[in-house]
Amino acid sequence: RKEVEQDPGPFNVPEGATVAFNCTYSNSASQSFFWYRQDCRKEPKLLMSVYSSGNEDGRFTAQLNRASQYISLLIRDSKLSDSATYLCAVTYNNNDMRFGAGTRLTVKP
């Protein structure tokens, strides 16, 4: 079993749709959680950190469920520019970061 698992998608949604991505992690000692966005042939860029209380940044909402070892990302009112691969990342002891394989999103007009 992989340490961090994501639904690979692809998710194809129309503009304005709400889309949710899920991520599970296997190590209960995980300490920090992140969502990164990666455009084709580019580096991952931090989208948001994920806190136990959940956090929101504009159209993006991230949730963490430590009991179920699960994090989620919700994108509301999706834009064409949201098309990318979304990577879930988890760290242990603030050292090495483990990534999921990513979920690909395409937003269509």
Partner 1 sequence: DTGVSQDPRHKITKRGQNVTFRCDPISEHNRLYWYRQTLGQGPEFLTYFQNEAQLEKSRLLSDRFSAERPKGSFSTLEIQRTEQGDSAMYLCASSLSGLEYGTDTQYFGPGTRLTVL
Residue from 53, 68, 81, 94 in contact with partner 1 (CB under 8 A): 94
- 59 forms part of the interface with partner 1 (CB under 8 A): no
- 72 forms part of the interface with partner 1 (CB under 8 A): no
Q: Which stretch binds partner 1 (CB under 8 A): 11-19, 52-60, 71-79, 97-105?
A: 97-105
From 25, 23, 33, select the one nearest 94 (Cα to Cα). 33
Residue from 12, 18, 46, 57 in contact with partner 1 (CB under 8 A): 46
Alpha-carbon span 72 to 65, nearest angstrom: 9
Q: Which amino acid is at 10?
A: P
Q: Which stretch binds partner 1 (CB under 8 A): 13-21, 57-65, 66-74, 87-95?
A: 87-95
Cβ burial, residue 73 (10 Å; 0-12/13-18/19+): buried
Q: Residues 8, 101: contact at Cβ < 8 Å?
A: yes
Phi, psi dihedrals of residue 34, rounded to the nearest 5°: -145, 155
- 20 forms part of the interface with partner 1 (CB under 8 A): no
Q: Which residues bind partner 1 (CB under 8 A)?
A: 4, 8, 32, 34, 41-46, 49, 87, 89, 91, 94-102
